[in-house]
Structure 1
Amino acid sequence: MFGTAAGQGLRQFAELGLALLLSLLIGLERELQQKSAGLRTHTLVGVGSALFMEVSIHGFGSLTGVPGASVDVSRVAAQIVSGIGFIGGGLIFVRRDAVRGLTTAATIWLTCAVGMACGGGLPLLGAGATLVHFLVVRGFPLVTRRLVSGRTVSQVELRLSYRTRRGLLGRVLELCTARGFRVTDVHITSEARESGKVKEADVVLGLEGRTSAHPLVEELTEWEGILGVGLRAHRDSTE
């Protein structure tokens, strides 16, 4: 049972260790980006996939020579590919028109493949796929930004703190559209709160436009009743 010959030798432990290292690197990148699936999830998926492959290849040796018994090592691998979709699907969600979690779900899928490659005795392919992950996730956004710079519609988030019951939100929306921006999302981040006898609220507006939003911010800071204005680039909706 505890022998090191029947698929439990140094090679198999080395393959599990390599799957641990590569999936940890992918998970660390997702963790640093503060995504919903981070270091632990990717590491467990990678090591678990590698172990499934080890069991698929080495775990049924006792059936060799048994009459009527057939061993197909590809069956477990096929079930891993279909089963990992449940984890990936759970990471994707839609809020209004924004789809989030696609990139993270794809990295889960890739980490599973990396683990399977390591467990199946193809460590170089697993290492190459890990490098491809960093090339795509880190390198592609830089390239696409340069290619489409100045030609695409910019997406920003405008954060406002304002006094309620003055019609300010409606006036802000009118100003945004008048300045050439399209309002894609209106999200109240906190309910109206009492500040003395004045109620205050926070709102996040998703804006799309071809011009800079900084003049818009400068004008809003001069409005009476606007308590705070913030601006930041819109996050990639597929992450």
Structure 2
Amino acid sequence: MLGHAELITRLALAAIMGGAIGFERERLLWAAGLRTHMLVCVGSCLIMMVSAFGFGDVLGQPAVVLDPSRVAAQVVSGIGFLGAGTILLRGEVVKGLTTAASLWAVAAIGLAVGGGLYVAAIATTILVLGILAGVKPLEEHWRGRMQTRELSLSVRRGSMTIDTLQEATRERSSRIRQFVVRPGADPDVEEVTVSFVRLSRQSVSSIAQRLRDNPAVLSVDEIDPAKS
């Protein structure tokens, strides 16, 4: 049986570790933030200790078999309902998956602390914080490069062909995903939409400037993918 000091130490350590991860989510203003992560971690820790040490008075009784792993398994599966509450569908984009995963990881950290696996719990906390805070800039950079970017052009009728566009894009011509020409409001004007993939904003801006230098191009607008 655990002593009172050890019991309180484990609960406090679980609160600190859950709070460290929750603070990162709170910083980004997610619904499941500091308090939610702390509560999940402390609750998981307590459940693990109850499972492992809370039935000492019935040990040795006939037909009594204790399996702490069964309670731990229920925590891992039961945390799913809380994680599901953080997942939102905004238009066609799913948001909150990372926060749901962090809640799941925090529950595991709480179980580890409750089981006395301090090194594993501390190492996992550091790794989770590194993933949430450190990998995010790399992920955003990669997503930014993979985003579809568009240019909207107004040109003189018949002046914009795929060859003209490839000349303006130069070595980036292989990144052209779509080239659409539509009649404009003026019979002598056409509206052109060009989509690019895996191009940075700077590259698209450079292409737009070269197109503006073409006398047949009346206007060029860059479409922000975040607002389209």
Unaligned runs of 5+ in 1: 1-5, 157-170, 172-176, 183-207, 216-230
Write the distance in 2 (CA, Å) between the matches of 1:9 and 1:21: 18
Q: What amino acid maps onto 1:73 in structure 2?
A: P
User: Counterpart of 1:70?
Assistant: 65
1:92–1:102 Cα contact (<8 Å) kept: yes
Report the structure, 1 or 2, having the larger helix content: 2
Unaligned runs of 5+ in 2: 151-184, 186-190, 209-222
TM-score by length of 2: 0.65
Deviation, 1:133, is: 1.2
User: Counterpart of 2:138?
Assistant: 143
User: Counterpart of 1:127?
Assistant: 122
Aligned length: 169
Pick closer, same or farther for the CA change 1:129–1:233 going to 2, 3 Å.
Answer: farther
Deviation, 1:137, is: 1.2
User: Counterpart of 1:101?
Assistant: 96
Write the distance in 2 (CA, Å) between the matches of 1:43 and 1:10: 20
1:63–1:71 Cα contact (<8 Å) kept: no
Report the structure, 1 or 2, having the larger strand content: 1
Pick closer, same or farther for the CA change 1:178–1:128 going to 2, 3 Å.
Answer: farther
User: 1:56 aligned to 51, 54, 74, which one?
Assistant: 51
Q: What does residue range 143-182 of structure 1 map to in structure 2 within 5 Å?
A: 143-144=138-139, 148=142, 151-153=145-147, 178-180=192-194
* Secondary structure of the structure 2 residue equivalent to 1:67: coil
Write the distance in 1 (CA, Å) between the matches of 2:3 and 2:21: 26
User: Counterpart of 2:35?
Assistant: 40
User: 1:110 aligned to 105, 112, 127, which one?
Assistant: 105
User: Counterpart of 1:84?
Assistant: 79
Larger radius of gyration: 2
CA distances 1:165-221 after superposition (whole Å, capped 9, x unpaired): xxxxxx9xxxxx945369xxxxxxxxxxxxxxxxxxxxxxxxx9x835xx8xxxxxx
